[in-house]
Amino acid sequence: MKNNLNKSLKIIGNIITIVAIFYVIKRLMNNDYDYSQLLVSKNIFPMLIIIVVQSVMVMTNAFPWKILVEMLTERKVPFVETIPVYVSANLMKYVPGNVFQYVGRNQLAVRNRLPHLPVALATMLDVLITVIAAAIISIFFLYDFIAKYLRVNSWMQTALIIVGIIIVLAVFLMFLFRNQIWKKIENYSYLFSTKSIKTILVALIYYIIVLMISSLMYLIVVIYITDTPLSSQVFLQLFSAYTLAWLVGFITPGAPGGIGIKELVMVAVTGGYIGTDVITLSMVIIRILLVVADCIAFVFGKIFEIIYKTKGRQNASN
């Protein structure tokens, strides 16, 4: 029964992957951009750098998720088995709904006979750590901008008050039911071990580094592809604004991929030093390159999977 369920889940996963590929092609075709302008000689090298770096990062992004899965399942998972699942699930983010990329990761549970709940929790924790990493970068580099924005926006102040009230109520309820909560926590005491805390910190540091590299890739587009010179001040503003824009786009309900929201945030952060047309154009270009990088990572992930399975069969026959 369980084997039949796993086979069914694998078939569904393959179907969703095919649908994702369709939406990737559709996105590239629907981009209101003349690709001939992009494919000029001066842009080839910067584009290659961005595509290669982003492709590698998509594959290595499986690492923090892998160690979180191992932490929650208390079982070792080979990295070469994690990459194909991760890159396939990553491609599913282009399918409308924005949930398949997370659900798709549970293919790891199917392939390695892992319990589904811990794998799903590892995915949720992975996303949470990414958001925290983006928030740390944004606050560190853009503290003055964020503080000023909060002061002049009453709806943000109201939202913060509501969040504060929720936190106070949560703390009160935790104190009220502390005995019951503690009994539940004792079952997961291993999550508070030194080893688990180190795992979470490794994942956090990894995502901080990756987000900063992604910002540098965007700046390559601005400087070398759109031919926009930047002062050191604007360079730092755009560097951190790209991460903040991703964060705002990610947490904004009803904004698929943060389209439109990201540009708005970046224009606001740079304070008009960079034209809206430059930001819009550079965001379109980086999106195109990221789609290409996602596809390349998917192909290499599949190649790794084929090689790993072939070696496994050879070892089994010997």
Q: Total domain count for the chain?
A: 1
Is residue 118 in some structural domain?
A: yes
In percent, the amount of the chain with pLDDT more than 70 equals: 74
Residue 223 has pLDDT above 90, yes or no: yes
Whether 85 maps to a domain, the answer reads yes
**Given this model, what pLDDT does residue 11 score?**
52
Would residue 318 count as lying in a domain?
no
What span, in angstroms and rounded, lies between the C-alpha atoms of 296 and 59?
A: 10
Q: What is the pLDDT of residues 87-111, one digit of tens each?
A: 988 888 877 767 777 888 888 877 7
pLDDT value of position 38: 74
Q: Give me the pLDDT at residue 256, please.
A: 44
Residue 317 is assigned to a structural domain of this protein: no
Please count the other Cβ atoms lying within 10 Å of the Cβ belonging to residue 131.
15
> Residue 229, SS3?
coil
Instruction: Assess if residue 190 is contained within a domain.
Output: yes
Domain residues for the domain of 153 are 2-30+39-312
User: Are the C-beta atoms of 69 and 283 separated by less than 8 Å?
Assistant: no
Between the alpha carbon of residue 252 and those of residues 194, 217, 261, 262, the distances in Å are: 34, 24, 8, 10
Per residue in 30-63, pLDDT (tens digit) is 656 565 667 788 889 999 999 999 999 999 999 9
Mean pLDDT, all residues of the chain: 80
Q: Which residue has the higher pLDDT, 183 or 59?
A: 59
